[in-house]
Amino acid sequence: MNDHWYMQRALDLAAAMEGQTSPNPMVGAVVVKDGRIVGTGAHMGAGGDHAEVHALKMAEGCTDGATMYVTLEPCNHHGRTPPCAKQIIEAGIARVVVAVKDVNPEVAGSGIEALRNAGVETEVGVLAEKAAKLNATFFHYVQTGKPFVTVKTASSLNGKMATPKGLSPWITGEAALEDVHQLRHIHDAILVGVGTVIDDDPALTTRLEIGGRNPIRVVLDRYLRTPSDAQLVTDGKAPTWIFTEESPKSKNASVLEQKGVRVNSLPTVTPKKVLAELGRADIQSVLVEGGKTIISAFIAENEVQRYISYVAPKLFSADTAMELEVEYAQMVGGDIKITATAKKGDASCLQG
């Protein structure tokens, strides 16, 4: 056990909350006294206590002279509650180990400074890379004012994003579908083009075994063609926001708004402008699910932070589908090489 070991515990606590803290970052904290953990905490979402506070509460009576491990610089601004830095100092914590400084330029360093000024030994940078990666979404958002964009696609090996006519529309298997629902759970918003809405009428909700958060559904729809009976208009399972170039006073707009949809009019509907609007609404992360035109627009504007491609070992033509088996998926230099072979009968006939 050493600083790294305890910080890893704090990171585990933070990571368990992935998907539920937005617009706040994931933060975990551990209080250690005389070689024993006496308090643990994580921030569990907006309106709830900060990780440090949870950990201090749990450690009540044992905080004097203790060490606190926290994955992000403690806050030092007065809000609903006193700043964490102040509470740490008052609890008599002797040493604070921080993974990464806050990235908000107005705040960064102020919590650490407050601790040091109060004579608390404060160390920064333990497991910094892991902590930064854990909150890549939050940091991107704070630094750019726009949500972190993940594009997700599913395709056959030969690059087709739709199955042949007459076949089930699911390209990938169940495990990949569940993986996508996990992705939805950890995003604040899910974004598609109106073409996808018209063609597939998707619900865009999170369907996991145990439930999960539904992201806000965002539709880019320049000419306001979203059908008023679309699932995401009528099902009431999550907010739906439409970005359009049409007037907010148009008839279509008022029909949709009556059904609870929020219609946002912009002079031009482009990825950059939509992301700026979403950022203003405290949306930190967007999952772009299609279609092709929308994805191309995000790429062309360089507005992609992460790209997740599910590739099914299938070959689609207009009306046929071949199922292959993945033999290897390996790195060759910086590229990925996927080798798939046609399924065969077994080799038993070859043995004498």
Residues contacting 124, CB < 8 A, separation 6+? 73, 97, 98, 99, 100, 101, 112
Task: Identify which of residues 67 and 226 has a Cβ nearer to a copy of itself in the complex.
Answer: 67
Q: Select the binding partner of residue 84 from a copy of itself, Zn ion, none (C-beta < 5 to 8 A, by kind).
A: Zn ion
Q: How many CA atoms lie within 13 A of 39 on its CB side?
A: 27
Phi, psi of 174 (to 5 degrees): -65, -40
Task: Identify which of residues 129 and 257 has a Cβ nearer to a copy of itself in the complex.
Answer: 129
- Choose among 91, 96, 94: nearest CA to 72: 96
Q: Which residue is nearest to Zn ion (CB)?
A: 84
CA 199 to chain centre: 26
Q: Does 304 bind a copy of itself (CB under 8 A)?
A: yes
Q: Which residues of 145-161 are buried (b: 16+ CB within 10 A; e: fewer)?
A: ebbbbbbbbbbbbeebe
156 is in an annotated binding site: no
Contact pattern from residue 63 through residue 92 relative to a copy of itself, giving x for each residue in contact according to CB under 8 A and a dash for the rest: ----x-----x-------------------
Confirm whether 73 is a catalytic residue.
no
60 is in an annotated binding site: no
Using an 8 Å Cβ cutoff, are 31 and 63 in contact?
A: yes
Contact pattern from residue 180 through residue 219 relative to a copy of itself, giving x for each residue in contact according to CB under 8 A and a dash for the rest: --x--x--------------------x-xxxxxx------
| Segment near a copy of itself (CB under 8 A); pick from 86-94, 188-196, 276-284, 313-321 | 313-321
Q: Select the binding partner of residue 300 from a copy of itself, Zn ion, none (C-beta < 5 to 8 A, by kind).
A: a copy of itself
Residues contacting 288, CB < 8 A, separation 6+? 149, 150, 151, 152, 191, 192, 294, 295, 298, 304
216 is in an annotated binding site: no
Query: How far is it, in rounded angstroms, from Cα 149 to Cα 295?
Result: 11
296 is in an annotated binding site: yes
Task: Identify which of residues 115 and 269 has a Cβ nearer to Zn ion in the complex.
Answer: 115
59 is in an annotated binding site: no
Q: Does 112 bind a copy of itself (CB under 8 A)?
A: yes
Using an 8 Å Cβ cutoff, are 31 and 5 in contact?
A: no
Quick one: which of 23, 58, 227, 266 contacts a copy of itself (CB under 8 A)?
A: 58
- Choose among 161, 175, 158, 168: nearest CA to 313: 158
Q: Select the binding partner of residue 175 from Zn ion, a copy of itself, none (C-beta < 5 to 8 A, by kind).
A: a copy of itself
Query: How far is it, in rounded angstroms, from Cα 170 to Cα 123?
Result: 50
Quick one: which of 168, 258, 268, 320 contacts a copy of itself (CB under 8 A)?
A: 320
50 is in an annotated binding site: yes
Task: Identify which of residues 70 and 288 has a Cβ nearer to Zn ion in the complex.
Answer: 70
Hey, which residues between 15 and 34 contact a copy of itself (CB under 8 A)? 16-17, 20, 30, 32, 34
DSSP characters over 200-268: H--------TT--PPPEEEEE-TT----TT-HHHHS-SS-EEEEESS-TTSHHHHHHHHTTPEEEE-SS
Using an 8 Å Cβ cutoff, are 74 and 88 in contact?
A: yes
Which one of 18, 52, 106, 301 is the catalytic residue?
52
| Least Å from the CB of residue 323 to a copy of itself | 9
Quick one: which of 65, 92, 125, 145 contacts a copy of itself (CB under 8 A)?
A: 125
Residue list, annotated binding site for Zn(2+): 50, 75, 84
Residue list, annotated binding site for NADP(+): 154, 170, 196, 200, 291-297
Kindly list the catalytic residues.
52
